[in-house]
Amino acid sequence: MFSAFANAFKTPDLRKKILFTLGVLALFRLGSTIPTPNVNISRINQCATLATEGAQAGIYTMINLFSGGALLKLSIFALGIMPYITASIILQLLTVVIPKLEALKKEGATGTAKITQYTRYLTLVLAVLNSTAFITLARTGQLFQGCTGILNTDELLPLVTMVLTMTAGTVVIMWLGELITERGIGNGMSVMIFTQIAASFPAGLWAIKQSSPGATGWFLFFGVIAIGLLVMLGIVFVEQGQRRIPVQYAKRMVGRRLVGGSTTYIPLKVNQAGVIPVIFATSILYLPILYAQFRPESAVSIWIAQNFANNGVWSSVAQFFLIIFFTYFYVSITFNPEEVSDNMKKYGGFIPGIRAGKPTERYLSYVLSRLTAPGSLYLAIIALAPTLAFVGVGANENFPFGGTSILIIVGVALDTVKRIESQLQQRNYEGFLR
Helix/strand/coil percentages in the chain, nearest 5: 70, 5, 25
Examine the domain organization and report whether 225 and 270 are in the same domain: no
Please give the share of the chain, as a percent, with pLDDT higher than 70. 77
pLDDT in tens, 93-121: 788 788 888 888 778 778 888 888 999 99
Which of 269-283, 318-332, 350-364, 392-406 shows the lowest mean pLDDT across its residues?
Answer: 392-406
pLDDT in tens, 215-232: 777 787 787 788 778 888
Examine the domain organization and report whether 228 and 262 are in the same domain: no
Which of 37-41, 297-301, 323-327, 376-380 shows the lowest mean pLDDT across its residues?
Answer: 297-301
Instruction: Determine the pLDDT at residue 248.
Output: 83
Examine the domain organization and report whether 232 and 320 are in the same domain: no
Whether 429 is in a domain gets the answer no
Q: Quote the pTM value.
A: 0.75
Examine the domain organization and report whether 128 and 276 are in the same domain: no
Whether 412 is in a domain gets the answer no
pLDDT in tens, 158-205: 889 999 999 999 999 999 988 998 888 888 888 888 888 887 777 777
Instruction: Determine the pLDDT at residue 161.
Output: 92
Examine the domain organization and report whether 87 and 206 are in the same domain: no
Higher pLDDT, 299 or 388: 299
Whether 68 is in a domain gets the answer yes
Whether 419 is in a domain gets the answer no
Residue 54 confidence (pLDDT) above 50? no
Q: How many domains does the chain have?
A: 3
Reduce the DSSP state of residue 429 to 3 states and report it: coil
* Range with the largest mean pLDDT of 16-25, 45-54, 64-73, 74-83: 16-25
| Contacts with 72 (C-beta within 8 Å, 6 or more apart), sequence order | 44, 48, 51, 52, 57, 60, 64, 144
* Range with the largest mean pLDDT of 254-268, 353-367, 407-421: 353-367
Higher pLDDT, 60 or 28: 28
Whether 319 is in a domain gets the answer yes
Whether 404 is in a domain gets the answer no
Mean pLDDT, residues 22-47: 85
Residue 241 confidence (pLDDT) above 70? yes
Examine the domain organization and report whether 125 and 273 are in the same domain: no
Residue 389 confidence (pLDDT) above 80? no
pLDDT in tens, 120-155: 999 999 999 888 888 887 887 777 766 777 888 888
CATH number of the domain to which 296 belongs = 1.10.3370.10
How far is the C-alpha of 196 from the C-alpha of 70, rounded, in Å? Answer: 9
**Torsion angle in degrees (nearest 10) through CA of 397, 373, 235, 209:** 20
Examine the domain organization and report whether 305 and 211 are in the same domain: no
Mean pLDDT, residues 400-427: 76
pLDDT-derived band at 394 (thresholds 50, 70, 90) equals low
How far is the C-alpha of 276 from the C-alpha of 327, rounded, in Å? Answer: 8
**Residue 247 β-bridge partners:** 264
Residue 400 confidence (pLDDT) above 50? yes
Examine the domain organization and report whether 10 and 24 are in the same domain: yes
Instruction: Determine the pLDDT at residue 256.
Output: 67
DSSP 9-70: HHSHHHHHHHHHHHHHHHHHHHHTTSBPTTB-HHHHHHHHHHHHHHT--GGGHHHHHHTTT-
Host domain of residue 219: 201-236
Reduce the DSSP state of residue 349 to 3 states and report it: strand
| Contacts with 131 (C-beta within 8 Å, 6 or more apart), sequence order | 78, 79, 162, 163, 166, 167, 170
Please give the share of the chain, as a percent, with pLDDT higher than 90. 6
Edge-first strand order for the sheet with 349-350 is 263-269, 242-249, 349-350
Examine the domain organization and report whether 275 and 374 are in the same domain: yes
pLDDT in tens, 287-335: 776 666 666 667 766 676 666 655 567 777 888 888 898 889 888 888 8
Examine the domain organization and report whether 219 and 128 are in the same domain: no
Examine the domain organization and report whether 192 and 89 are in the same domain: yes
Instruction: Determine the pLDDT at residue 57.
Output: 45
Domain end, chosen from 141, 164, 196, is at 196
Whether 366 is in a domain gets the answer yes
Mean pLDDT, residues 198-213: 75
How far is the C-alpha of 198 from the C-alpha of 34, rounded, in Å? Answer: 19
Whether 432 is in a domain gets the answer no
Examine the domain organization and report whether 178 and 210 are in the same domain: no
CA dihedral sign of residues 301, 303, 305, 311: negative
